[in-house]
Structures are given as structure tokens and as C-alpha cells.
């Protein structure tokens, strides 16, 4: 029987990887990955404490318990497997972090609200009235308007979870409201709103294009207006305009990554809007739409970014020298990951993504069947 190699021999980086790294260390032998109990991988920058040797003295305790709990739940419920639903908590942590990273003058003009759904926005509208009555009852009990946060700033970005006959998806509601003359810090005159929905019609037209879902858009616009009316907005001047974003290819089951990408891009658009306004350039709404966003989003790129944000926020809640560690999943390990209603046995490509990239949308932001635009270039 052949002698077993030392554990470290299995984790030396390949020669090609070393050359690509431009030799940041003295030699390749100075950089090793070692496996410890619990299948924890470390690059050697810190000494891990194995599970069988942990104690109260060397286990960190969060200083911000509420934020730690939120980030922990968001990270554990993110489900990196493709097409698995992204939890509201994970979306909340990720989009809230985007807002916190914006310049102060943008944060003073924009609110990114915690994700909401599906009760107020889905096809089943039977319990919407009960939710509005319960919310208005809280206003009476507290003696203050619980909707006031929605009117505290001109711009609102709100990820919504929608369930209907076309699928279960995140959409992004964006609106702009003006302040009244009597209350300059109370932005209750809703002027413009748009809904960025990445899903397209399943049936193609004669040219093979899959259009935006007009039935879903009309229903959501009606429900949004109803929410604005119940929240005390003035909607007599409200106009719903088009908002184009990267389409979701047919066969995908969740658009949470594209909602996160849209939130990120809209914040950048608002930043540029105020920078342009400072130089006398005003946004042109004569074409009946708000900003047109990217025509291509790779869902795995943004899902991994969301996982990184949740992990980073979790680390920031500890009064400790925290590090991120990665726990390996054994091959063919059955987990509770559910994607599109089906339980999955995780494979590596579920986490890192398939090699085939999503299509680049056509110039009109419709999803076309057949050859993609990227293939034609």
C-alpha cells in the first residue's frame, strides 16, 4: 500500500495559478491551504479554532445582536443554488448595504425600503384590505402615521415579491414624489413611478420576441396606486412610466439577482441625476420612461455579491478580529435547497454557476428566442 502524502501536499497551488498571482509571496511553498476538522479551509492568515476545542473565551460574541441575527438569517437563507428563491431578509441586508454605501447627499434624497410581499402585490388580492386596516389601526394606537417613512424623502426604491400566474419574482418599484408648499419636508405628491420587472411573456410573437407582461404591469400599477392612496399620497398627478431592465431568460425561476442589480443601478442613476442637475442638466421624461438599465445581468455574479454583503455585515457585528471561512459541502450531500418547487442535490455548478452566460437583451429590452445578440457579435 502506497504511503499517504502529507495533508499539505494536496493543497499546494498550481504553477499556473502562482504565475497569475504575480508571486505575492516569497515562494509557492509559503502559501498553503490546509483542511481542519469541520471541513474548514484556511489560507494560513489566522489560526482556526476547531470545533472540538472551542470555548467561551475564544468564540466571538456579537456586539450588535439584532443586526447579527438578521445577517445570519439572511446568509443562511440566501441559498446559492441557481433558481432558489432569495429570502426577503437576505435581500433586505444586501439592498440596505447598497444605500449605506451611497454618498450622504444621495442618502438624504433616497430611501431603500425593506422588501415586501407577497400579500399586497400578488394576484390573490383577498387579504389586502385586512392588511391596510391593520396598518391604519397601528396609526391610531401609536398616534402617528406609520406610513410617514414612505413620505420622508423624494425618491423611494422598494423591492416587491410578486406571486401570480406568470411566476414568483422580485420586481423593483421606484417612485419620485414632490413636497407640498405647506410641509416642505413631507414628500406626499407622487409624480412618477415605474416597476422594473425582468420577467417576459412565455409566448413569443411572430418575430420570436417575448414582450413585457402587460397584464402583470397593469395589475401592479393598480395595486401600487391603491397603496399610495391608503398611505396618504396625493396621486392626481401620478404617472406610471416605463422602466426597462435586463430581462430574465425563459426557464429561470427567480429574479432576485436582477432586482438587486436594478437597485444598485438605480442608485447610481440617481447619483448622476443630482450631479447633472448641479450643472443645469435636467432629466428628460418626454420619452415616457425612467432610466433604462443594463441589458445583461449574470445572476450568479450578483447572487455571490449578495452572499458576500451578508457575510461582511455579519462580521461587522462582532467586536472581534473576524475572518470569513468557507465550509465545504460533501459531494452528493442532500440539503434543504428548493429551487422552483423542487428539492436539489447540490453540485458545484449550482454554487458557481454554469459556463453558459445569460443572453444580452436586444436594444428594445425584449427577450428573443433563438440566437442571442452576444452570439452575433
Domains in the chain with CATH codes:
65-314 (3.40.395.10)
**How high is the pLDDT of residue 315?**
87
Min mean pLDDT across 26-35, 104-113, 312-321 is at 26-35
From 6-15, 19-28, 339-348, the region with the lowest mean pLDDT: 6-15
pLDDT at 323 over 60: yes
Q: For residues 10 and 33, what is the distance between their CA atoms, to the nearest angstrom?
A: 8
167-178 and 155-164: which strand pairing? antiparallel
Q: How far apart are CA 188 and CA 143, in angstroms?
A: 19
Specify the range with the lowest mean pLDDT, choosing from 7-16, 139-148, 229-238: 7-16
Strands 209-210 and 326-327: unpaired
Task: Tell me how far apart the alpha carbons of residues 323 and 18 are, in angstroms, rounded to a whole number.
Answer: 23
Q: How many CB atoms lie within 10 A of CB 12?
A: 14
What's the mean pLDDT in 1-21?
38
Q: Do the Cβ atoms of 202 and 232 come closer than 8 Å? A: no
Grid coordinates of 199: 420577467
pLDDT higher than threshold 60 for residue 37: no
**In the predicted model, is pLDDT for residue 289 greater than 90?**
no
- Residue 94 near residue 337 (C-beta atoms within 8 A): no
> Please, are residues 367 and 247 in contact by the beta-carbon 8 Å criterion?
yes
**8 A C-beta contact, residue 196 and residue 221:** no
**Separation CA 99–CA 313 (nearest Å):** 13
> Is 134 strand, coil or helix?
helix
Quick one: average pLDDT of 253-271? 94
pLDDT at residue number 344: 72
> Does 171 have pLDDT greater than 80?
yes
Q: Which of 46-60, 200-214, 220-234, 256-270 has the lowest mean pLDDT?
A: 46-60
DSSP, residue by residue, 272-303: HHHHHHHTTPPP--TTSB-----S---HHHHH
pTM, two decimals, is 0.83
Considering the chain, what is the average pLDDT of its residues? 80
Which region holds residue 288: left if phi is over 0, alpha if psi is between -120 and 50, else beta? left
Rg of the Cα atoms in the chain: 24
| Contacts for 190 with CB less than 8 Å, ≥ 6 apart | 175, 176, 177, 228, 233, 234, 235, 237, 238
Give the model's pLDDT for residue 180: 81
- Average pLDDT, integer, range 69-80: 82
Contact 71, 322 (CB under 8 A): no
Element (H, E) at 176: strand 167-178
Task: In whole angstroms, give the CA distance from residue 308 to residue 254.
Answer: 19
| Cell numbers for 111 | 430611501
What pLDDT, on a 0 to 100 scale, did the predictor assign at position 351?
Answer: 67
The larger pLDDT score, comparing residue 279 to residue 32, is at 279
Question: Half-sphere exposure of residue 148, counting CA atoms within 13 Å on the CB side?
Answer: 10
For position 358, what pLDDT does the model report? 84
The stretch 182-207 carries a mean pLDDT of 91
Q: What grid cell was written down for 290?
A: 425612467
* Structure-block grid coordinates of residue 313: 455585515
| 61-70, 114-123, 233-242, 266-275: range with lowest mean pLDDT | 61-70
Distance CA 180, CA 232 (A): 13
Q: Which three cell numbers stand for residue 239?
A: 404617472
Amino acid at each position: 500500500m502506497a504511503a499517504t502524502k502529507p495533508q499539505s501536499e494536496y493543497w499546494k497551488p498550481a504553477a499556473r495559478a502562482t504565475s497569475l498571482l504575480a508571486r505575492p509571496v516569497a515562494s509557492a511553498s509559503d502559501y498553503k491551504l490546509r483542511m481542519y476538522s469541520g471541513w474548514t479551509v484556511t489560507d494560513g492568515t489566522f489560526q482556526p479554532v476547531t470545533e472540538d476545542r472551542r470555548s467561551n473565551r475564544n468564540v466571538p460574541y456579537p456586539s450588535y445582536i439584532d443586526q447579527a441575527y438578521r445577517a445570519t438569517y439572511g446568509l443562511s437563507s440566501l441559498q446559492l443554488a441557481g433558481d432558489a428563491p432569495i429570502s426577503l431578509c437576505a435581500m433586505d441586508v444586501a439592498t440596505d448595504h447598497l444605500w449605506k454605501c451611497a454618498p450622504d447627499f444621495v442618502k438624504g434624497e433616497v430611501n431603500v425600503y425593506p422588501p415586501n410581499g407577497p400579500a399586497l402585490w400578488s394576484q390573490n388580492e383577498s387579504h389586502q384590505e385586512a392588511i391596510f386596516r391593520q396598518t391604519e389601526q397601528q396609526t391610531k394606537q401609536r398616534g402617528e402615521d406609520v406610513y410617514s417613512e414612505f413620505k420622508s424623502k423624494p425618491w423611494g426604491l422598494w423591492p416587491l415579491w410578486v406571486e401570480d400566474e406568470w411566476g414568483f419574482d422580485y420586481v423593483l418599484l421606484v417612485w419620485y414624489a414632490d413636497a407640498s408648499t405647506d410641509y416642505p419636508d413631507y414628500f406626499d405628491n407622487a409624480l412618477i413611478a415605474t416597476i422594473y420587472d425582468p420577467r417576459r411573456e412565455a409566448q413569443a410573437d411572430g418575430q420570436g420576441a417575448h414582450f413585457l407582461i402587460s397584464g402583470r404591469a397593469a395589475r401592479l400599477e393598480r395595486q401600487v396606486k391603491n397603496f399610495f392612496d391608503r398611505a396618504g399620497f396625493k396621486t392626481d398627478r401620478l404617472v406610471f412610466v416605463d422602466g426597462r431592465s435586463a430581462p430574465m431568460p425563459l426557464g429561470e425561476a427567480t429574479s432576485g439577482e436582477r432586482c438587486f442589480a436594478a437597485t444598485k443601478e438605480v442608485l447610481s442613476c440617481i447619483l448622476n441625476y443630482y450631479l447633472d442637475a448641479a450643472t443645469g442638466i435636467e432629466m428628460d421624461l418626454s420619452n415616457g420612461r425612467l432610466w433604462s438599465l443594463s441589458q445583461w445581468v449574470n445572476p450568479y455574479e450578483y447572487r455571490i455579491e449578495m452572499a458576500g454583503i451578508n457575510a461582511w455585515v455579519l462580521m461587522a457585528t462582532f467586536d472581534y478580529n473576524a475572518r470569513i471561512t468557507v465550509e465545504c459541502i460533501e459531494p452528493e450531500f442532500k440539503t434543504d435547497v428548493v429551487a422552483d418547487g423542487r428539492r436539489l442535490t447540490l453540485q458545484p455548478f449550482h454554487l458557481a454557476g454554469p459556463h453558459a452566460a445569460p443572453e444580452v437583451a436586444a436594444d428594445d429590452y425584449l427577450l428573443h428566442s433563438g440566437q442571442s445578440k452576444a452570439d452575433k457579435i
